[in-house]
Amino acid sequence: MGYRDTIFALSSGRLPAAIAVVRLSGPHARIALKLLINKEIPDRSPRLVAIKGGDGALLDRALAIRFDGPGTATGEDIVELHLHGGRAVVDAVLATLGAIAGLRPAEAGEFTRRAFDHGRLDLIEAEGLGDLLAAETEAQRRQAIGQAGGGVSHQVATWQDAALNIAARIEAAIDFSDEDDVGDADVAAIHAACAALGGEIGLWLARPPAERLRDGIAVAIAGPPNAGKSTLLNAIVQREAAITSPIAGTTRDVVDVAVAIAGVPYRFLDTAGLRGDTDDAVEAIGIARARAAAAAADLVIWLGDDDAPEHAAVIRVAAQSDRRDGPDWDARVAHADIALSAVTGENMQRLLDLIGERARALLPRDGEVALNRRQRDALAAVADSLDEAVRTRDLLIVAEHLRAALGAFDRLTGRARTEDMLDALFGRFCIGK
Ligand SMILES: Nc1nc2c(ncn2[C@@H]2O[C@H](COP(=O)(O)OP(=O)(O)OP(=O)(O)O)[C@@H](O)[C@H]2O)c(=O)[nH]1
Ligand SMILES: [Mg+2]
């Protein structure tokens, strides 16, 4: 796919800065560079150049690099200008570029779009790149670089090859069989290959989803009024995010605080104290929200007695250990995983360690790339088709299911890689077969 216009943009961060990088990509990138500096520079050799405006006035002395396509990030000719990072310098250069015929400012994501269109990266890698730019924690960065670096794409290519291999086996089995009489051994082998591939994909589908890493692990702090939930939230996130007071029923809305602890992203949710007997309509709404937040959370920190909500992951906390005042303190400790005080800090580190332990079980393991929703849906479609394929002995129908599986792989990568190969493969069947 060839684009006719050449795009340009400031590719580095906010101005003013020590250096600002302006990037051009497209068929006119080299000509534009020549117009700016009034000479040619060699491919992939940085040069200190004088950049001049349309009227010949010097705009900046800068570093210019020319990358001739197609072996570039976008697959097109690229030029990079490393300017002095003042606003006026950058504005003047951008204005000069905008006045050159065939050049226009890039839209958001357009360089990556061109890279995708020119086959420099697939959809999975593009998604990874987007996540990498958005990554705020170490765990997010590792996950994103795994996707952007082609880890998943490589795995998908291996699966595609395996599926194509099965398709070829089907063709061979049909070709070498007598009319309508395919050997049992052939069918069994093809079924086994489909099941093995489906099983492997199933393992990937069972991994924790990437969203949890992107959005943060949701931890709801819940319990009766005045248990010390908001005080605990503030201690965990180390700022006064929620109002605390001795008045029962202080917290009404869910207070949602994003924070990274030990490189892991979390969303801590402080909730209204749960009690059944309120006549306050607003508090009742808050309690309904609290229950919903706890039910939807990945992890619940429960500050109540032995009546913790039904949830797959609960940490029971006996809070306000510095007080130990109620007659039921010993009973509360007996029901709890941990006794702590958000005021004195006693056992707070242990709580964070406990949360970290539970979080690790909910997150992709180190070195294991996780899949996002779109990727999981496409792979689930592959797995379904393979599942269908082993339910029939009619190899032509098995071949149809494989075609569907390969189509889902293509949707996953955004590349129609397999259709042509399949046409070539099955085009050799005689009509009616
Ligand atoms: N001494 C001591 N006081 C605490 C501790 N935690 C909370 N408190 C006090 O207990 C009272 C209630 O604390 P909050 O954090 O507002 O309780 P809550 O569970 O958020 O209450 P609601 O929002 O009303 O449901 C406040 O006066 C806090 O200062 C603690 O660990 N030690
Ligand atoms: Mg509160």
Residue 308 pLDDT: 86
| Omega of the bond leading into 16 within 30 degrees of 0 (cis) | yes
Instruction: Report pTM.
Output: 0.74
Q: Which ligand is in closest contact with the Cα of 232?
A: 1
Q: Locate the ligand 1 atom nearest the alpha carbon of residue 250 and give its number.
A: 24
Q: Locate the ligand 1 atom nearest the alpha carbon of residue 224 and give its number.
A: 25
User: Would you say the CB of residue 323 lies under 6 angstroms from ligand 1?
Assistant: yes
Ligand 1 centre from 225 Cα, in Å?
A: 9
Ligand 1 centre from 247 Cα, in Å?
A: 9
Indicate if 73 and 193 belong to the same structural domain: no
Asked whether the beta carbons of 171 and 426 are under 8 A apart, the reply is yes
Spatial separation of the C-alpha atoms in residues 106 and 110, rounded to whole Å:
6
* Protein residue whose Cα sits closest to atom 16 of ligand 1: 244
Asked whether the beta carbons of 96 and 59 are under 8 A apart, the reply is yes
Spatial separation of the C-alpha atoms in residues 201 and 386, rounded to whole Å:
10
Asked whether the beta carbons of 268 and 237 are under 8 A apart, the reply is yes
User: Would you say the CB of residue 234 lies under 6 angstroms from ligand 1?
Assistant: no
Indicate if 40 and 175 belong to the same structural domain: no
Asked whether the beta carbons of 229 and 221 are under 8 A apart, the reply is yes
CATH number of the domain within which 187 lies: 1.20.120.430
User: Would you say the CB of residue 427 lies under 6 angstroms from ligand 1?
Assistant: no
Inter-CA distances, 182 with 36, 273, 358, 396, 398, Å: 70, 68, 52, 11, 13
User: Would you say the CB of residue 271 lies under 6 angstroms from ligand 1?
Assistant: no
Residue 428 pLDDT: 56
Residue-level pLDDT, tens digit, the chain, 433 residues:
678 899 999 999 889 999 999 999 999 999 999 999 999 999 999 999 999 999 999 999 999 999 999 999 999 999 999 999 999 999 999 999 999 999 999 998 899 999 999 999 899 999 888 888 888 888 888 888 888 888 889 999 999 999 999 998 988 888 776 655 667 888 999 999 999 999 999 999 998 888 888 889 999 999 999 999 999 999 999 999 999 999 999 999 999 999 999 888 999 999 999 998 888 999 999 999 999 999 999 999 999 988 888 888 999 999 999 998 777 898 889 989 999 999 999 999 999 999 999 998 888 887 788 888 899 999 999 999 999 999 999 999 999 999 999 999 999 998 876 666 666 666 655 544 4
Indicate if 220 and 339 belong to the same structural domain: yes
Indicate if 235 and 341 belong to the same structural domain: yes
> Would 130 be classed as within a structural domain?
no
Ligand 1 centre from 230 Cα, in Å?
A: 7
* Protein residue whose Cα sits closest to atom 3 of ligand 1: 320
**Count of CA atoms in the C-beta half-sphere (13 A) of 62:** 26
How many structural domains compose the chain?
A: 3
> Would 81 be classed as within a structural domain?
yes
User: Would you say the CB of residue 165 lies under 6 angstroms from ligand 1?
Assistant: no
| Omega of the bond leading into 70 within 30 degrees of 0 (cis) | yes
CA-wise closest residue to 362 among 293, 232, 267: 267
User: Would you say the CB of residue 250 lies under 6 angstroms from ligand 1?
Assistant: yes
User: Would you say the CB of residue 224 lies under 6 angstroms from ligand 1?
Assistant: no
> Would 142 be classed as within a structural domain?
no
* Protein residue whose Cα sits closest to atom 12 of ligand 1: 226
Indicate if 238 and 338 belong to the same structural domain: yes
User: In sequence order, what are the residues at sequence separation of 6 or more whose Cβ sits closer than 8 angstroms to the Cβ of residue 65?
Assistant: 44, 45, 46, 47, 79, 80, 82
Helix (H, G, I), strand (E, B) or coil at 5: coil
For residue 117, report the phi and psi dihedrals to the nearest 5 degrees: -65, -30
Indicate if 410 and 353 belong to the same structural domain: no
> Would 282 be classed as within a structural domain?
yes
The alpha helices in 297-429, defined as continuous H runs, are 329-335, 348-362, 373-389, 395-413, 418-426
* Protein residue whose Cα sits closest to atom 14 of ligand 1: 228
> Would 140 be classed as within a structural domain?
no
> Would 340 be classed as within a structural domain?
yes
Indicate if 52 and 189 belong to the same structural domain: no
Ligand 2 centre from 357 Cα, in Å?
A: 25
> Would 179 be classed as within a structural domain?
yes
Indicate if 180 and 233 belong to the same structural domain: no
Indicate if 194 and 218 belong to the same structural domain: no
Domain boundary among 310, 342, 362: 362
Residue 132 pLDDT: 87
CATH number of the domain within which 227 lies: 3.40.50.300
Residue 36 burial by CB count (10 A; 0-12/13-18/19+): exposed, middle or buried? buried
Q: How many residues does the chain have?
A: 433
Domain boundary among 336, 362, 388: 362
Q: Locate the ligand 1 atom nearest the alpha carbon of residue 243 and give its number.
A: 16
CATH number of the domain within which 48 lies: 3.30.1360.120
Q: Which ligand is in closest contact with the Cα of 229?
A: 1
Domain boundary among 343, 362, 381: 362
Q: N- to C-terminal Cα distance for the chain? A: 36
Domain that holds residue 73: 6-117
Indicate if 218 and 283 belong to the same structural domain: yes
> Would 18 be classed as within a structural domain?
yes
Can you name the residues that pair with 51 across neighbouring β-strands? 60
Indicate if 270 and 355 belong to the same structural domain: yes
Residue 416 pLDDT: 78
Indicate if 305 and 378 belong to the same structural domain: no
